[in-house]
Copies of this chain bind each other. A is one copy, B any other.
Amino acid sequence: MPPFDVPEGDPFGPHNLPYGVFSLTDPAGAPERRVGVRLGDHVLDAGAAAHALGSPYAGLLAQPTLDPLLAAGRTAWSDVRRALTAWVTVPAHRETLAPHFHPLSDVTLHLPFTVADYVDFYASENHARNVGQIFRPDAADSLTPNWKHLPIGYHGRSGTVVVSGTDVVRPSGQRKAPADTAPVFGPSIRLDIEAEVGFVVGTPSEQGRPVPLGDYRDHVFGLCLLNDWSARDIQAWEYVPLGPFLGKSFATSVSAWITPLDALDDARVAPPVRTHPLLPYLDDASEEPGGYDLRISVAINGHVVSEPPFSTMYWTAAQQLAHMTVNGASLRTGDLYGSGTVSGASEGERGSLLELTWNGRDALELPDGKRTFLEDGDEVTLTAWAPGPGGTRVGLGEVRGLITPAVSP
């Protein structure tokens, strides 16, 4: 009986149960937003289910956003997940819950939480080396001197984080080719993607008090897929000396489903061997494995162009959290931080067109023509899965975005 009998091998079985926020698409349906939990190709209205079962978690789940659940903290996260697992697996609940499931095709998915601060890191050594070789070909080392000592990051614009499926308007801005004497203004001609994983903070921290490495799971609720859209021409002209600004701030897309860390225990792996000694606040040698074996896939107009392996990331999410707060910066519920572009060691594993086409030198051959950077009408989709218990796969949903033409200023 659907939705309960999810086919074997479905990456959204009861071992996964990611969270999102949905409304019923039918204009005659109730338009309000509710917390949903995905099971197969259905969404469970989690608040309605909690009410129907007399659950004490109705207060956290019968909400228009994930914010109250995120703020509730690690113990509540695990307790709620345990309850949800029972609801969707214990046959006695089936009749009660059936009316609260909706087919995915009947719902609209929304940005599931209020983004507080958004930080983006730069944690893939392969990506950083590729970028260094492309932009600083004469440098003695393709990595900057600080790269192996700290997870480099910067703040992005939280107000332009959008949910998967939101169109992305091609940004305009200044660019200047090396031979030009002055910059020109116009639509970006080097619009790119960055395939990343985003980490969602639930539990806040106090200003002035660093969060140590070992407290990562107390603060981070789960993860999502993230596409850090990047206008390379705008970025190249603006970024010295204060970093990327308009080249990144027009849009950042995240998947509609947030996968709780608790669903990813079987995906945890050791990060790559560290080549440089780490300062104590970043030294994870005695911590639990901090990497995740996530297999990402990047498709343009349905054609897979890359399969970046997240397990290759040099810096872990726990290290990034410890670094981000070591100066006393506080965390808020809804803080989002991106891993940085995920690029593996081989050509087919690069997470940006900048790297895949080596800054436009080597065009990709797609069924609908060649690509160096994105054209209007291109739709980019990131998907991913992770190993789950007993040989299952944990699906990470998708983040999708269609490029629409630039608007006149």
Contacts and interface: CB of A to CB of B under 8 A. Distances in A.
A327 B249 contact: yes
Contacts of A158: 116-117, 158
B155 A335 contact: no
Given A150-B238, A242-B152, A250-B327, A209 B157 contact: no
Given A154-B242, A249-B329, A329-B157, A277 B182 contact: yes
Interface in A234-252: 234, 237-247, 249-251
Contacts of A277: 182
Given A243-B239, A327-B173, A149 B182 contact: yes
A237 B146 CA distance: 7
B407 A154 contact: no
A207 B160 contact: yes
Interface in A169-210: 169, 171-174, 176, 182-185, 207-210
A276 B174 CA distance: 15
Given A159-B335, A407-B328, A243 B246 contact: no
Contact of A323 (B155, B156, B209, B246): B246
A155 B409 contact: no
A129 interface: no
A144 interface: yes
B250 A407 contact: no
A100 to B, nearest CB: 33
Nearest to A169: B208
Per DSSP, chain A at the interface is loop
Q: How many copies does the complex hold?
A: 2
Given A160-B207, A241-B144, A242-B244, A327 B153 contact: no
Given A239-B241, A243-B154, A407 B208 contact: yes
Interface string A315-335: 000000001101111111001
A117 B157 contact: yes
- Those 10 A-B pairs whose CB atoms lie nearest each other, nearest first: A243-B243, A169-B208, A171-B327, A155-B155, A154-B242, A246-B327, A250-B327, A242-B243, A249-B329, A250-B328
28 contacts: A116-B159, A117-B159, A144-B241, A149-B183, A150-B238, A152-B241, A152-B242, A153-B242, A154-B245, A155-B155, A159-B330, A169-B208, A169-B328, A172-B210, A173-B327, A182-B277, A183-B279, A184-B279, A207-B250, A207-B251, A210-B407, A212-B409, A231-B327, A246-B323, A249-B329, A251-B328, A280-B409, A328-B407
